[in-house]
Amino acid sequence: MKNIKIILITISLLSVHFGLRAQQQVMFTQYMFNQLAINPAYAGIHDGISTSFLARNQWVGFEGAPKTQTFSIHSPIKYRSIALGAVLIRDEIGLTDQFGAYFSSAYRINFSNRSKLSFGLQLSFNQYQVDYSENTNNDPNLANQNINDISPNAGAGVMWHSDRFYLGFSIPQLVSNSLNSIGEGSLDPDAKLVRHYFMSAGYVFDLSRNLKLKPNLLFKWVQGAPFEIDINANFLIKELIWLGLSYRSMDSFDALFQIQVTPQFQLGYSYDFLTTTDLSRVNSGSHEIMINYVFNVKSDKIVTPRYF
């Protein structure tokens, strides 16, 4: 138990010292099916009221590992070129809890080839809490470093998309706010929010009448951290079942499964089955479930499943 406490404290201290660089923007394996958390320009992409719930347990078996739950909703505004969206996020890692609310607005331009160019803006509020007293035997030196901080921020993004492809770029966290401690202690000046840069792309290819291939790419760069890339390939069988594999640099190999219950209702599961870091010795992979449902706002029925 003592070793576990030391590990938990170490995770939280490192998270604060390096500004929570790895986990400020939550990480999803199934990002290609709901990108609102990383790009506000994604809002309204489905031409219906789109809702999504996702829960992720990372590094199962390792106490203090990240756990994330999100709920998102977004929709275009009828007869207007505007779409609105919101995301609620809870992210836990070690002794750190993050609660976030993200509100997005997107302006969409239609082109003659049925593609759209969307410009998005985002306003967010995040509460960061770190309570070292829970696992430090009431050590006053650490207890005085507790954090309870509410930080507003803003983001922006752009996305070009059609029914078959998407290309996006976003900076969901534009302002580098400092995190403030409570109590008598002073927080390391490096404990602050940092900018994250995302670029994503995907395309749907017809391999046969009943088989489609959708490769996806996600590039991520965070100030003070190595450049990351997520490479994914998903196969869609008979417009019903998605099967996919992903590689996330410096992290893991992942398997994805989704079933299109109806054109509007989608269930998904992913498993990060091979961790490529030393953490593979102390965990049994990461699990992620996703539920998506699109409420149709038009008079005609949705006859094909959405691909993004």
Residue-wise pLDDT tens digits, 185-209 = 444 555 667 788 999 999 999 999 9
The model's pTM: 0.84
Find the range with the poorest average confidence among 59-63, 72-76, 89-93, 154-158. Answer: 59-63
Answer with the residue of higher pLDDT: 58 or 165: 165
Which residues does residue 109 pair with via DSSP β-bridges, in sequence order?
Answer: 117
Element housing 143 (H / E): helix 140-143
CB–CB of 37/89 below 8 Å?
yes
- Write the DSSP symbol of residue 77: P
Residue-wise pLDDT tens digits, 245-261 = 999 998 889 999 999 99
Q: So what's the pLDDT on residue 13?
A: 40
- Please report which confidence band the pLDDT of residue 11 belongs to, taking 50, 70 and 90 as the band edges: very low
When pLDDT is averaged across residues 263-272 and rounded to a whole number, the result is: 93
Q: So what's the pLDDT on residue 140?
A: 60
When pLDDT is averaged across residues 89-99 and rounded to a whole number, the result is: 87
Mean pLDDT (the chain) is 83
Residue-wise pLDDT tens digits, 51-85 = 999 999 988 877 778 899 999 999 999 888 999 99
Cα 257–chain centre separation: 18
CB–CB of 122/157 below 8 Å?
yes
Q: So what's the pLDDT on residue 298?
A: 61
Cα 105–chain centre separation: 18
